[in-house]
Chains A and B, each alone.
Chain A
């Protein structure tokens, strides 16, 4: 049994300009993956940004060519100054939010050939802060503006 059975390459989705990862299919519907994403300084217009993401996916359908899925990405951005005193002068736990963030997303996966190894996907997601802001200010926030997109490529080894 292999620990890794697929490769992911993703653009955007808040986890990097480009993210590369490896994943494991746990059941026919559930899979996990770990990705490393970067945003070069030229793209971020500021510091170089590195992101580590744990991706979870639950697939609702089981078709040969086109499938719908949902999932949660939990990600950490390195070097962001938040709660710990080692990255700032303030006391521990001064700030409620940390550098661990989340995105809830819905995706669509297209297999390039029936039961083939290569697929493309498109995801639309909303991050944790946007969810909280909308939940507390629903009359004043346009929900359409909260969603972000990702496109990616998946290669199944086995």
Chain B
């Protein structure tokens, strides 16, 4: 029995090593989402969650709940780890892989700790990316300004993507609420608000705060999706007549 046990152990040289395969899961899953776009119905639903950290019990239940419904894909708005470690990403992914539909992951402040930025780039891909699906523009943004060396958020890039898109609906996904007064100066918060209204953004999806809450923000809706530990997730329903959201207990 001890031999069987030892056979399952590994020689780890450091918890901070970044020897992870280049999975680029966001690109792969996006290809899966868009693969059958022409044949997919124009009405669809998306599941939203964030702040997985190590709430694996709740994440397991959430995956089961999501799989029990017909969601086109799931968005995780950052903080899939506590410390940006390889073992944490692998554990979270082991649960996300059980989803029957694809998932897309934004980067959170905890995911940038230690060597997490390298791990995220190999496992998930770009920190800032956008795509269109069924006339909806989705823009994923790294806005973790404290933890990112370099520019975060890259407002110039975001404005460019939003203004160059002809999509009818626009949804921004990031980890930190863009009006977080602890992290952003008043002029930065105002700049976000002006951009969201000018570019006619419909929804701003974020995590960071673990309690779910949604409220109008200018002409858009802002949703802090909350952590699975609170036993809620959000659903976005996109139809030809618009987008609406629902907070769901699980």
Contact = CB atoms under 8 A, between A and B. Distances in A.
Interface of A: 11-17, 37, 39, 43-47, 49, 51, 77, 80-82, 88-90, 94-95, 97, 101, 124, 127, 129-130, 132-133, 136-137, 139-141, 144-145, 147-151
B91 interface: yes
Given A90-B147, A97-B83, A149-B10, A136 B17 contact: no
Interface of B: 5-6, 8-20, 54, 56-57, 60, 82-83, 85, 87-88, 91, 95, 110, 113-115, 118, 145-147
6 contacts: A39-B14, A45-B17, A46-B19, A49-B16, A80-B113, A132-B54
A45 B113 CA distance: 17
Contacts of B14: 14-17, 37, 39, 44, 49, 51, 77
Contact of A147 (B8, B82, B145, B147): B8
A46 B115 contact: yes
Contact of B11 (A101, A137, A141, A149): A149
Given A80-B114, A141-B56, A44 B10 contact: no
Contact of B19 (A16, A45, A130): A45
Nearest to A123: B9
A88 B110 CA distance: 13
Given A39-B13, A49-B17, A97 B82 contact: yes
B6 A149 contact: yes
A44 B15 contact: no
Contacts of A17: 13-14
Contacts of B18: 44-47
A136 B54 contact: yes
Which 7 pairs of residues, A with B, have the shortest CB-CB distance?
A46-B18, A12-B11, A90-B146, A137-B56, A148-B12, A144-B8, A45-B19
A149 to B, nearest CB: 5
A81 B83 CA distance: 10
A147 B10 CA distance: 7
A127 B12 CA distance: 11
A81 B113 contact: yes
Contacts of B10: 148-149
